[in-house]
A and B are shown apart, each in its own frame.
Chain A
């Protein structure tokens, strides 16, 4: 494992994913008439991807292990990417609760929680985050709802009112 570097791991992941996609091309329906089959182009792209990724894999194996390891194991990794993880987690939560909270309440909560997760957590900062989230999402929601006439998800809570 110590021989592996980040590029090698990336190459292996791409190769594995390409393998899954190539396998899936055999499930594509064949046509009887003379036309370029729906499976041809994806296979051409996947063969190209295989060739390029193999070259990338060999190139990465020649490099040897990563020179500087940031260390810290899983906890160190989480620490390094915590801001991104917060954003993804909160965005996923926002999408999962969209049917219940709707775009307005969900959006305000998402912005408030993201600001609080990424920024400071003093009382003054929390008040500022609340104001920023209500004003910004409220403004955008109004522009899209009343200006552009887009029907944004209302959410069960909002419709109950």
Chain B
């Protein structure tokens, strides 16, 4: 059965039309990634309307092409001009641009492109191997656990907003509120529509997303009248020959760095809402710490390109993994993918891989082959992609706004959706101006229904009110996620006080102890062993710090880099 599903998926993905669409998608992603201010999420959102009429797998394969292309596109402008096309390539510029300026742009590009390729492949393997395991784990979740998981997803997203955590939490709550407008999914009762017929069906998820993300982002990009009229990049570099062979040899020599960075990428991708913008900096930081020559970082060392580029592409696999296994989007791009699946009446859940095996295998295969496509396109059309960055931003903004209108109308043939885009475009822009993070609100909109449905299921399952409330802390998985959520709320304070206050020395060991406790009550021996290991490590860390007199370590620059 498994083999049958795999061959079916292989047949669909390897159809000429699908491959062509993926090629176009990867190319579009590379272009979008190369344009500073044009995020990957926006590129994937804009691709979505084209995929409405396609079969689910074809549409998703195209979007995966855009996703993979976008992750790699940012490195081209970053290396050649020092301006990263996307936040996922910020750390790449530290050594990539320096190496290019030192007369080796071909090697810098080669390292970037091939690190992206290998990072993506490693995460594709992890996706294939781990997604079914994670889905099996998800089958243990009851409604209480799912509700707590959503809470954790929202708190960690807000906490990643750094100093603006309170604003992040407010944005997440507003997102949840937006999702409650219109007919209640459980009982079909109209609510919060203020007597307006048009609001009875509520707001569609995608027009809200396009308004908040694309509309708001575009207007932020053209806010400055003078800059909006200038080309995005005047100097897009001279003709560069990518040194493929030399790059591959260098990467293989740094295989430990490649593996470590890819695993960091996968791990960050699995965390809800933590995307490539974080993983590339974390991986760079870890590579620098592990290096025998850390002083070379920032001067054009190959390891400084390999780490961020392999990590940001590996993040995609992690994000897809958590989406396919649990239905929780790993980042904004995965949230759009979730929207695309829902349009085709496919609801990701722990049984997704078994119920929609052909689609699941198709996603694995598409993710795999998008990487060689990206390599081919970058090798052939490098300069062509960079030409797009000579277009002034205001031209792109006007054309994309019109495209958003046509695309959103195509969703349901409704002008109500177009007004939704405008309203949430205003909200998204205002949020940017007032420094409210957008990602928690998007996650709130995406996960609002899931939270309410599971709360209602928990209420219906519980025999009385005491059981309904107490099971949130008595069920191991629910307690685990609530504890994770609580510690993620404290994370911004930890970041701020790291290296300055003594309590930060105990924060991580205490978190390990807290998380180990519910793990002891979970099924299976593996989790008990992991819990025991966590306890032993935490006890050792606390003892070591106690015997060291709770001496503060000098704060390194990792959080400063992350904030930037």
Name A's B-contacting residues (CB within 8 A). 6-7, 10, 14, 21, 24-25, 28-29, 31, 34-36, 38-42, 44-46, 48-49, 52-53, 55-56, 59, 81-84, 87-88, 91-92, 94-95, 98, 103, 107, 110-111, 114-115, 118-120, 132-133, 136-137, 140-141, 143-144, 148-153
Contacts and interface: CB of A to CB of B under 8 A. Distances in A.
Contacts of B50: 143, 148
Contact of B402 (A45, A48, A98, A107): A107
Given A21-B192, A119-B228, A148-B52, 19 more contacts: A14-B174, A25-B192, A35-B456, A35-B459, A41-B180, A41-B456, A42-B192, A48-B173, A81-B223, A87-B218, A95-B422, A103-B406, A111-B398, A111-B401, A111-B402, A118-B229, A119-B392, A119-B395, A133-B398
A148 B401 CA distance: 19
Contacts of B219: 83-84, 87-88
Contacts of B365: none
B225 A82 contact: yes
Q: At the interface, is chain A mostly helix, strand, loop or mixed?
A: helix
Contacts of B177: 21, 42, 45-46, 49
Interface string B223-251: 10100110000000000000000000000
Closest CB pairs A-B (n = 8): A38-B184, A114-B398, A118-B394, A36-B456, A38-B189, A49-B173, A42-B180, A150-B410
B395 to A, nearest CB: 6
A42 B449 CA distance: 11
B545 interface: no
Contact of A36 (B174, B186, B194): B186
Contacts of B425: 88, 91
Contact of A141 (B225, B406, B429, B455): B406
A44 B410 CA distance: 35
A54 B227 CA distance: 38
B170 to A, nearest CB: 5
Interface of B: 49-50, 52-53, 166-167, 169-170, 173-174, 176-177, 180, 184, 186-187, 189-192, 194, 218-219, 222-223, 225, 228-229, 392, 394-395, 397-399, 401-403, 405-407, 409-410, 413, 415, 418-419, 422, 425-426, 429, 434, 451-452, 455-456, 459-460
A153 B410 CA distance: 10
Contact of A118 (B170, B189, B228, B455): B228
B173 A83 contact: no
A52 B456 contact: no
A140 B406 CA distance: 8
B460 A118 contact: no
Contacts of B405: 91, 94, 103, 107, 110
A41 B455 contact: yes
A29 B170 CA distance: 27
B119 to A, nearest CB: 33
